[in-house]
Amino acid sequence: MVKTKIAVLVSGGGTNLQALLDAQAAGKLPHGEIVLVVSNKAGAYALTRAEQAGVATAVLTGPDFEARLNQLLASAGIEMIVLAGFLKILSAAFTAAWPERILNIHPSLIPSFCGEGYYGLKVHEEALRRGVKVTGATVHFVNEIPDGGRIVAQKAVEVLPGDTPESLQRRVMEQAEWILLPQAAEMVAEQLSLVK
Ligand code: GRF
Protein backbone atom coordinates (compact mmCIF):
# COMPACT_ATOMS: atom_id res chain seq x y z
CA MET A 1 0.00 0.00 0.00
CA VAL A 2 1.39 3.39 -1.03
CA LYS A 3 0.81 6.03 1.64
CA THR A 4 -0.68 9.41 0.80
CA LYS A 5 2.00 12.07 1.17
CA ILE A 6 0.83 14.87 3.43
CA ALA A 7 2.07 18.43 3.95
CA VAL A 8 0.88 20.31 7.04
CA LEU A 9 0.68 24.11 6.87
CA VAL A 10 1.04 25.99 10.17
CA SER A 11 1.40 29.50 11.55
CA GLY A 12 1.67 29.10 15.29
CA GLY A 13 2.07 26.79 18.26
CA GLY A 14 1.16 23.65 16.40
CA THR A 15 -0.79 21.60 18.94
CA ASN A 16 -2.91 20.23 16.11
CA LEU A 17 0.24 19.37 14.19
CA GLN A 18 1.42 17.59 17.36
CA ALA A 19 -1.80 15.57 17.44
CA LEU A 20 -1.12 14.50 13.84
CA LEU A 21 2.51 13.61 14.58
CA ASP A 22 1.48 11.65 17.69
CA ALA A 23 -1.20 9.80 15.73
CA GLN A 24 1.38 8.90 13.08
CA ALA A 25 3.83 7.66 15.73
CA ALA A 26 1.06 5.58 17.32
CA GLY A 27 0.18 3.93 14.01
CA LYS A 28 -3.13 5.77 13.75
CA LEU A 29 -2.36 7.34 10.39
CA PRO A 30 -1.63 4.15 8.47
CA HIS A 31 -2.66 5.49 5.05
CA GLY A 32 -0.78 8.79 5.32
CA GLU A 33 2.73 10.03 5.82
CA ILE A 34 3.52 13.55 7.02
CA VAL A 35 6.53 14.45 4.91
CA LEU A 36 6.63 18.24 5.09
CA VAL A 37 5.61 21.03 7.48
CA VAL A 38 5.45 24.55 6.03
CA SER A 39 5.07 27.70 8.11
CA ASN A 40 4.32 31.22 6.91
CA LYS A 41 5.79 32.53 10.18
CA ALA A 42 9.48 32.22 11.01
CA GLY A 43 10.01 30.94 14.54
CA ALA A 44 6.60 29.27 14.84
CA TYR A 45 6.85 26.63 17.57
CA ALA A 46 5.13 24.19 15.22
CA LEU A 47 8.43 24.04 13.31
CA THR A 48 10.25 22.80 16.41
CA ARG A 49 7.60 20.10 16.87
CA ALA A 50 8.14 18.96 13.27
CA GLU A 51 11.93 18.92 13.66
CA GLN A 52 11.63 16.90 16.87
CA ALA A 53 9.56 14.35 14.97
CA GLY A 54 12.12 14.22 12.15
CA VAL A 55 9.84 15.83 9.57
CA ALA A 56 11.25 18.24 6.96
CA THR A 57 10.29 21.88 7.46
CA ALA A 58 10.20 25.03 5.38
CA VAL A 59 9.45 28.67 6.16
CA LEU A 60 7.81 30.72 3.44
CA THR A 61 7.37 34.42 4.08
CA GLY A 62 7.04 37.40 1.82
CA PRO A 63 5.70 37.64 -1.73
CA ASP A 64 4.90 34.79 -4.12
CA PHE A 65 3.91 32.57 -1.21
CA GLU A 66 1.69 30.28 -3.26
CA ALA A 67 4.06 29.97 -6.20
CA ARG A 68 6.90 28.97 -3.89
CA LEU A 69 4.59 26.66 -1.93
CA ASN A 70 3.56 24.94 -5.16
CA GLN A 71 7.21 24.29 -6.00
CA LEU A 72 7.86 22.81 -2.56
CA LEU A 73 4.76 20.63 -2.69
CA ALA A 74 5.60 19.36 -6.16
CA SER A 75 9.19 18.51 -5.32
CA ALA A 76 8.09 16.60 -2.20
CA GLY A 77 5.39 14.72 -4.16
CA ILE A 78 2.64 15.99 -1.85
CA GLU A 79 -0.86 14.64 -2.49
CA MET A 80 -2.82 16.09 0.42
CA ILE A 81 -2.54 19.24 2.54
CA VAL A 82 -3.68 19.76 6.13
CA LEU A 83 -4.10 23.29 7.46
CA ALA A 84 -3.42 23.11 11.20
CA GLY A 85 -3.66 26.59 12.64
CA PHE A 86 -2.65 28.15 9.32
CA LEU A 87 -3.77 31.75 9.35
CA LYS A 88 -3.30 32.78 5.74
CA ILE A 89 -6.25 32.57 3.35
CA LEU A 90 -5.36 30.57 0.22
CA SER A 91 -6.43 31.95 -3.16
CA ALA A 92 -9.26 30.49 -5.23
CA ALA A 93 -6.71 29.48 -7.87
CA PHE A 94 -4.73 27.54 -5.28
CA THR A 95 -7.69 25.76 -3.70
CA ALA A 96 -9.11 24.88 -7.14
CA ALA A 97 -5.85 23.08 -7.94
CA TRP A 98 -6.34 20.87 -4.84
CA PRO A 99 -10.03 19.85 -4.96
CA GLU A 100 -11.01 17.96 -1.79
CA ARG A 101 -7.32 17.52 -1.02
CA ILE A 102 -6.95 20.31 1.53
CA LEU A 103 -8.32 19.83 5.04
CA ASN A 104 -8.77 22.53 7.66
CA ILE A 105 -9.67 22.34 11.34
CA HIS A 106 -11.97 25.07 12.64
CA PRO A 107 -12.78 25.45 16.35
CA SER A 108 -16.58 25.68 16.13
CA LEU A 109 -19.49 23.72 14.73
CA ILE A 110 -19.67 25.18 11.21
CA PRO A 111 -21.81 27.05 10.09
CA SER A 112 -21.68 28.78 13.47
CA PHE A 113 -18.87 31.24 14.22
CA CYS A 114 -16.94 30.77 11.01
CA GLY A 115 -15.83 32.63 7.91
CA GLU A 116 -13.58 35.62 7.47
CA GLY A 117 -12.33 37.08 10.76
CA TYR A 118 -13.30 34.06 12.87
CA TYR A 119 -10.01 32.60 14.04
CA GLY A 120 -8.26 31.82 17.31
CA LEU A 121 -9.86 33.12 20.49
CA LYS A 122 -12.30 35.27 18.51
CA VAL A 123 -14.35 32.16 17.71
CA HIS A 124 -14.73 31.25 21.38
CA GLU A 125 -15.42 34.85 22.44
CA GLU A 126 -18.32 34.96 19.99
CA ALA A 127 -19.65 31.56 21.11
CA LEU A 128 -19.70 32.80 24.72
CA ARG A 129 -21.21 36.16 23.73
CA ARG A 130 -24.02 34.39 21.85
CA GLY A 131 -24.58 32.08 24.81
CA VAL A 132 -24.51 28.75 23.00
CA LYS A 133 -24.46 25.72 25.29
CA VAL A 134 -22.73 23.45 22.82
CA THR A 135 -19.83 24.27 20.53
CA GLY A 136 -17.12 22.03 19.07
CA ALA A 137 -14.79 21.61 16.13
CA THR A 138 -15.16 20.93 12.42
CA VAL A 139 -12.81 19.42 9.88
CA HIS A 140 -13.73 20.48 6.36
CA PHE A 141 -12.31 20.56 2.87
CA VAL A 142 -10.97 23.92 1.80
CA ASN A 143 -12.40 25.72 -1.20
CA GLU A 144 -12.54 29.38 -2.26
CA ILE A 145 -14.99 30.29 0.54
CA PRO A 146 -13.37 30.71 3.99
CA ASP A 147 -14.61 27.78 6.12
CA GLY A 148 -17.08 26.99 3.30
CA GLY A 149 -15.92 23.64 1.90
CA ARG A 150 -17.63 20.27 2.44
CA ILE A 151 -17.71 19.16 6.06
CA VAL A 152 -15.74 15.97 6.74
CA ALA A 153 -16.17 15.53 10.52
CA GLN A 154 -17.54 17.36 13.54
CA LYS A 155 -17.44 16.84 17.28
CA ALA A 156 -19.50 18.66 19.88
CA VAL A 157 -18.16 20.06 23.16
CA GLU A 158 -20.15 21.44 26.09
CA VAL A 159 -19.88 25.08 27.11
CA LEU A 160 -19.72 25.23 30.92
CA PRO A 161 -20.82 27.97 33.32
CA GLY A 162 -17.92 30.31 34.07
CA ASP A 163 -16.09 29.50 30.84
CA THR A 164 -13.66 32.10 29.52
CA PRO A 165 -12.58 32.16 25.86
CA GLU A 166 -9.33 30.55 27.01
CA SER A 167 -10.94 27.73 29.02
CA LEU A 168 -13.38 27.03 26.19
CA GLN A 169 -10.59 27.02 23.61
CA ARG A 170 -8.65 24.52 25.69
CA ARG A 171 -11.68 22.19 26.12
CA VAL A 172 -12.48 22.34 22.39
CA MET A 173 -8.88 21.44 21.58
CA GLU A 174 -8.66 18.59 24.11
CA GLN A 175 -12.10 17.09 23.53
CA ALA A 176 -12.51 17.73 19.83
CA GLU A 177 -9.68 19.15 17.68
CA TRP A 178 -6.83 16.87 18.72
CA ILE A 179 -9.03 13.78 18.27
CA LEU A 180 -10.94 14.80 15.18
CA LEU A 181 -8.11 16.10 12.99
CA PRO A 182 -6.01 12.88 12.97
CA GLN A 183 -9.15 10.78 12.41
CA ALA A 184 -10.28 12.93 9.48
CA ALA A 185 -6.76 13.05 8.03
CA GLU A 186 -6.57 9.25 8.10
CA MET A 187 -9.99 8.95 6.48
CA VAL A 188 -9.07 11.27 3.60
CA ALA A 189 -5.57 9.79 3.25
CA GLU A 190 -7.16 6.35 2.91
CA GLN A 191 -9.61 7.57 0.27
CA LEU A 192 -6.80 9.18 -1.70
CA SER A 193 -4.61 6.09 -1.42
CA LEU A 194 -7.40 4.10 -3.09
CA VAL A 195 -7.73 6.37 -6.13
CA LYS A 196 -4.04 6.30 -7.06
C1 GRF B 1 -6.78 25.86 16.56
O2 GRF B 1 -7.80 26.29 17.42
C3 GRF B 1 -7.37 25.56 15.20
O4 GRF B 1 -8.66 25.07 15.25
C5 GRF B 1 -7.37 26.90 14.55
O6 GRF B 1 -6.20 27.55 15.02
C7 GRF B 1 -5.80 26.97 16.25
C8 GRF B 1 -4.39 26.48 16.06
O9 GRF B 1 -3.77 25.97 17.19
N10 GRF B 1 -7.50 26.77 13.13
P11 GRF B 1 -2.45 25.13 17.08
O12 GRF B 1 -1.40 25.97 16.34
O13 GRF B 1 -2.74 23.85 16.35
O14 GRF B 1 -2.03 24.89 18.50
Cα 84 to middle of ligand 1, angstroms: 6
Query: Which amino acid appears at position 22 of this protein?
Result: D
Q: Are 137 and 155 in contact (CB under 8 A)?
A: yes
Substitution site in 16, 157, 181 for ligand 1 pocket (most atoms within 8 Å of beta carbon): 16
**Could you tell me the residue range of the domain that residue 10 belongs to?**
4-194
- The rounded percent of the chain whose pLDDT value lies above 90 is 97
Q: CATH number for the domain including 161?
A: 3.40.50.170
pLDDT digits (tens, 9 = 90+) for 108-137: 999 999 999 999 999 999 999 999 999 999
Mean pLDDT of 69-96: 97
Residue 14 Cβ inside 6 Å of ligand 1? The answer reads yes
Active site residues: 106
Cα separation, 162 vs 193, whole angstroms: 45
Cα separation, 175 vs 136, whole angstroms: 8
Domain count for the chain: 1
